[in-house]
Structure 1
Amino acid sequence: MSDQPQIVVLGAGLGGTIAAYEIRQALGKSASITVLNKGEDYWFVPSNPWVAVGWREPESIRVHLPPVMEKHGIGFNSVGAAKVHPKENRVELLDGSSVSYDYLVIATGPELAFDEIPGFGPNGHTQSICVTDHAKAAHAKFEELCANPRPIVVGAVQGASCYGPAYEMAMILDTELKRRKIRDRVPMTFVTPEPYVGHLGLDGVGDTKGLLESEMRDRHIKWITNAKVTSVEDGKVHVEEVNDDGSLKKTHDLDFGWAMMLPAFRGVEAVMGIEGLSNPRGFIITDKHQRNTAYPNIFGLGVCIAIPPVGPTPLPVGVPKTGFMIESMVTAIAQNLKEILAGQEPTHEATWNAICLADFGNGGVAFVAKPQIPPRNVNWASEGKWVHLAKIGFEKYFLHKVRSGESEPFYEKLALHVLGVKKLRFN
């Protein structure tokens, strides 16, 4: 065993991957860093709506991680975690072996709670874009729909905490169906637990309500808000629409030939049910320094951490953890680890700002919220074709960032560009 501190990063999605790079940059060669992940690949999940309509091949948004990690002196294990044992400072892997740590950074992302609604999800009757393999399967079903046009249902279910991709999916579907000249044969309904269109789990940002409602009217997309999905059967979604006090307002039985709704999230099995580490839903409990309160040598970042909702809503509506927010958590953890290893108390806090580029296929909506939770110092939203071009550039840049092991934070720079000139140029 090396005399160096052993830092383990659990998860190699957006948060875990850049955390490994940035911690290495912050600590140099003073610590050993190992990434644990189930599988060897990083997938650029924001491009999954494009995969679902055939605009991207899955391989084009994949990064094979072991060579990049090795180049930067970061260990990589692709077996996958079975259980975190915080009292023993070890992570048990799926093959029965264990990896010990001095410091653990949990960046697992969520488990997708499709099983909470009968008939819901890829193992049921609806599609998903949460995982690239799901999006690939959704594309196959989309081609079947195009050969035999029928209604579409898109949106999110109660308890979901990520709404931007649902709006993207609806608009991208509309764009592609128009290109194929069959949109007139495919009625579309957007279903969401949000109290209004454009709430986004953030009580809106700028005029997202007006912008997104207008976009849906222009595209002839009907919507149902305050919507609870009770069950799904083959070709039909059962929905209860509720009043502001949560009482039943109306029921809807929506026919579909293709449906995609984002699920609620919960913590992964490896951290579920560990007192002091995770809450009843399995999300990691952290303080303002991203450090767990019961186990101070454990940090959490990204979708897997616990964040309270912005306010009461008739149905459960979670708060999104956006890329800007996640990158800020990564920087705080990297700098706090540097301070701790130098014998100091951690001082860095994440800023928890949000920037989102919601691509609609031939345009889009961008918003910046600083901070993410209201009241805000910056509360801005805008629309235009430039958003679509910016999203393409963002995909190109971020895949380069992961492939190269670049550790420089990106989202603050992106926010300044969006607010300053509204047009982004990516080299």
Structure 2
Amino acid sequence: MAQILILGGGIAGISAAYEIREALGKKHEVTVVSKAAHFQFTPSNPWVAVNWRKREDITVDLATTLPRHKVKFIHAAAEKVMPEEKSVRLSNGETMTYDYLVITTGPELAFDEIEGLGPNGFTNSVCDVDHATEAQPHWEEFCANPGPIVVGAVQGASCYGPAYEFAMIMDTDLRKRKLRHKVPMTFVTAEPYVGHLGLGGVGDTKGLLESEMRERHIRWITNAKVDKIEDGKMTVTELNEDGSLKKVHELPFGFSMMLPAFRGIPALMGVEGLTNPRGFVIVDKHQRNPTYPDIFSAGVCIAIPPLEATAVPVGVPKTGYMIESMVTAIAQNLKEILADKEPTHEGTWNAICLADFGDGGVVFVAQPQNPPRNVNWSSSGKWVHLAKIAFEKYFLRKVRKGTTEPYFEKAVMQMLKINKLKDKEQA
């Protein structure tokens, strides 16, 4: 009997647990270790921050859910991964051994890299449901005494969709409250242009997002490096494309949400051959670490090099569709390995993003994620908001019921059908 240990209980970790359980059958043991006692549907966190959702609406208790689906659960953080000993030391004092380790921890949020950034500083966060819940009273206080907003993503960030989403969702909520006219809004991003997304743009994301921000009277600063954040003021250096200084901005704000850069969790830092200097797990095309072949990894915690050199560092996102394909490859490769075969399965590394704007939204599909692409498509409309709501419902159902249905893949196929229908209508 093989011991399969999964670190992390997010979208990648739970999907891995269910797919590995199904692929390997009952004779092998699958255990999930998570520092959080709950699964959170992270894409819904922007709604939580503006009180459109409550914490309990988008979370699932893991201690009661996973055992029902023949997956063991341990509520603890990983303190140190020790691949030479095939073990992981946990925060509860226990040391877990494994035959195969699947790392799906997600990132550590590097708020400390910029003075004043984050919930312990002067900005809010939607990266975690607890952070989004903490932002709720701050948002209500702001709406009672509105002023300027600064929103966006700092240098080194690798997830830009939620920044655009939250800017538009705040705009929508303020308009509903009849307060929008009192709130100047500035979008600050490390991206070289609006809609770059760490992907060099997808379809017409540049045009779509610039148009959306003009329509909503949101000014923007790109190639932006956040220098420091004080109470009610953000200092931002704007660079030219060649990296030279263009302008230094001092932006006042009454409310701010800035996405941080990511790095690997402390338990992975400094393990030679396992992670890069930033702490992200190195994997081959089979999602397997080349140095330690009994370790696999998927999701935001894996190492992917930046798409291109930019004036300000910009990371590469790992979207849900991409994560699901990584997880499926891991499950099937483990099945082959345990049958004394060589692994053959590879993740597709395609990207899909449903960016909800509160009353509409933008969707993009990139196959593969990095150009040149076979599919390079983006679209917008009110239907995107409804699709995001439906997807939230379906994925939470997946977690509760223990299914392995690939919801992101289904969504992609539906998007492409819509695209083909639109092309026929235009022809």
TM range (shorter): over 0.9
Contact 1:194 1:201 in 2 (8 A): yes
Contact 1:353 1:369 in 2 (8 A): yes
Cα distance in 2 for residues equivalent to 1:188 and 1:197: 15
| Matched residue, 1:70 | 67
| Matched residue, 2:248 | 251
| Matched residue, 2:424 | none
Q: Of residues 86, 99, 103 in structure 2, which corresponds to 1:106?
A: 103
Cα distance in 1 for residues equivalent to 2:401 and 2:280: 30
Identity over aligned pairs, percent: 68
Q: Of residues 335, 345, 351 in structure 2, which corresponds to 1:348?
A: 345
Cα distance in 2 for residues equivalent to 1:411 and 1:62: 19
Cα distance in 2 for residues equivalent to 1:171 and 1:152: 12
Number of aligned residues = 420
Q: Is 1:183 aligned to residue 185 of structure 2?
A: no
Cα distance in 2 for residues equivalent to 1:396 and 1:334: 25
Q: Is 1:156 aligned to residue 153 of structure 2?
A: yes
Equivalent AA in structure 2 for residue 296 of structure 1: P
Cα distance in 2 for residues equivalent to 1:166 and 1:421: 26
| Matched residue, 1:50 | 47
Question: Within 5 A, what are the aligned runs for 1:11-410?
Answer: 11-410=8-407
Cα distance in 2 for residues equivalent to 1:378 and 1:330: 22
**Helix, strand or coil: the match of 1:137?**
helix
Q: Taking structure 1 as reference, are residues 422 and 405 closer, same or farther at Cα in structure 2, changes over 3 Å only?
A: farther
Equivalent AA in structure 2 for residue 386 of structure 1: W
Shift of 1:422: 6.1
Shift of 1:273: 0.8
Shift of 1:39: 2.7
Shift of 1:421: 2.5
Moved more, 94-103 or 154-163: 94-103
**Helix, strand or coil: the match of 1:261?**
strand
Equivalent AA in structure 2 for residue 374 of structure 1: P
Cα distance in 2 for residues equivalent to 1:342 and 1:214: 54
Contact 1:22 1:408 in 2 (8 A): no
Shift of 1:30: 2.8
Cα distance in 2 for residues equivalent to 1:422 and 1:359: 18
Cα distance in 2 for residues equivalent to 1:31 and 1:242: 54
Cα distance in 2 for residues equivalent to 1:84 and 1:380: 40
**Helix, strand or coil: the match of 2:73?**
strand
Q: Deviations over 1:59-104 (max 9, x none)?
A: 1101011222111211110022111110000010112210100000
Equivalent AA in structure 2 for residue 157 of structure 1: V
Cα distance in 2 for residues equivalent to 1:133 and 1:124: 15
Q: Deviations over 1:239-292 (max 9, x none)?
A: 000011111110000000000010000000111111011110000000110000
Q: Of residues 409, 414, 417 in structure 1, which corresponds to 2:414?
A: 417
Equivalent AA in structure 1 for residue 245 of structure 2: L
Equivalent AA in structure 1 for residue 130 of structure 2: D
Cα distance in 2 for residues equivalent to 1:329 and 1:239: 37
Contact 1:51 1:58 in 2 (8 A): yes
Contact 1:240 1:248 in 2 (8 A): yes
Q: Taking structure 1 as reference, are residues 422 and 259 closer, same or farther at Cα in structure 2, changes over 3 Å only?
A: same
Cα distance in 1 for residues equivalent to 2:125 and 2:36: 20
Cα distance in 1 for residues equivalent to 2:173 and 2:351: 28
Quote the RMSD (CA, aligned, Å).
Answer: 0.9
Q: Deviations over 1:10-37 (max 9, x none)?
A: 0001100110000001111131111111
Shift of 1:136: 1.1
Cα distance in 2 for residues equivalent to 1:290 and 1:421: 31
TM-score normalised to structure 2 length:
0.97
Shift of 1:129: 0.4
Cα distance in 2 for residues equivalent to 1:324 and 1:85: 30
Gaps of 5+ in 2: 421-427
Moved more, 93-102 or 382-391: 93-102
TM-score normalised to structure 1 length:
0.97
Contact 1:33 1:74 in 2 (8 A): yes
Cα distance in 2 for residues equivalent to 1:148 and 1:415: 42
Equivalent AA in structure 2 for residue 324 of structure 1: Y
Cα distance in 1 for residues equivalent to 2:418 and 2:365: 13
Moved over 4 A (4+): none
Moved more, 215-224 or 305-314: 305-314
Cα distance in 2 for residues equivalent to 1:149 and 1:39: 34
Cα distance in 2 for residues equivalent to 1:72 and 1:81: 23
Moved more, 409-418 or 247-256: 409-418
